[in-house]
Copies of this chain bind each other. A is one copy, B any other.
Amino acid sequence: MHADQVLRKRPAIPALATALCAVLLAQPVQAAEPVNPPRPAAADAVNASKPAEWRPLDPEHTLYMELPGGRVVIELAPAFAPAHAANIRALVREGYFDGLAVLRSHDNYVAQWGDPDEKNPRPLKTAKARLAGEFTMPMSNDKHFTPLPDRDGYAAQVGHSNGFPSARDPKTGRAWLAHCYGMVGVGRDVDSDSANGSSLYAVTGHAPRHLDRNITVVGRVVSGMPLLSSLPRGTGPLGFYEQPGQQVPIKAVRLAADVPEAERSKLEVMRTDSASFKAVAEAQRNRGGPWTKVPAGYIELCNVTIPVREQGK
């Protein structure tokens, strides 16, 4: 994803753009406007990464949500929400979500799924009905935090914890996952302990960071976001679908570990404590090349790409 391709007037053909850049960069630049030096792009950092800088998804903590349009892959974050991750795994193994639906598509906010039947809700089996909120956890439990140098308005410190955008406050000693695009949280009622993981949402708009520390964040969509983000918006209050026919049926949600190996999505995530990840963030913080006139010199937490790819690609 080169910054100099992103908002051209016409579709850029990557091979052509690369050739064009090579020509442009090889020539003396005579333009009067400021010249932004060439710098590695995020894609260059990904291409230069070593295999050890990637980790596969753990099949015991990876969900496949099968929608009519395809598969949404969710990586759970048991380090931050152990009780919710365990309960969701129990729900999934009981087939709880199979046949339920995406109930809500709220523009610039969330897509939310769960049980459409309020009058006769699907009973739980072994899963617990109420869990204490896991809104934050002790910083000492976070063994993989890599800080970003960039300041943040919502938290004293932000960075990444083993593939998830996260934040922390040394004064309180607490750490939490940040509500960036694609993050998955657990719907709750007023009480902090009113959730159990049977109602989930993914962020589909600008990061609603005010939800941080107010709700349990349980994971991240690592593949298939467009299946949720491009759903028609619900026209009811808060983006709920008003007619059952508008709801999007969930064929099944399965743990990757329970899916035959041949049917699994073979994805790997760049380690967020790696040198290549640091290079990705820097490439986005200070974009190089002739398209960018003024590098931002800063990157906001939720704008940092966490690279995901097919294994061995």
Contacts and interface: CB of A to CB of B under 8 A. Distances in A.
B230 A185 contact: no
A9 B231 contact: no
Contact of A13 (B8, B12, B237, B292): B237
Range, interface on chain A: 35 or more
A211 B105 CA distance: 27
A185 B108 contact: no
A290 B12 contact: no
Contact of A188 (B1, B7, B208): B7
Contacts of A9: 114, 187-189, 194-195, 198-199
Interface in A185-212: 185, 187-192, 194-195, 198-199, 201, 205-212
A211 B7 contact: yes
Contact of A303 (B8, B198, B206, B294): B206
Contact of A206 (B11, B105, B181, B201): B181
A298 B110 contact: no
A233 interface: yes
A10 B150 CA distance: 37
A158 to B, nearest CB: 10
Contact of A24 (B190, B195, B206, B208): B190
A261 interface: no
A187 B106 CA distance: 28
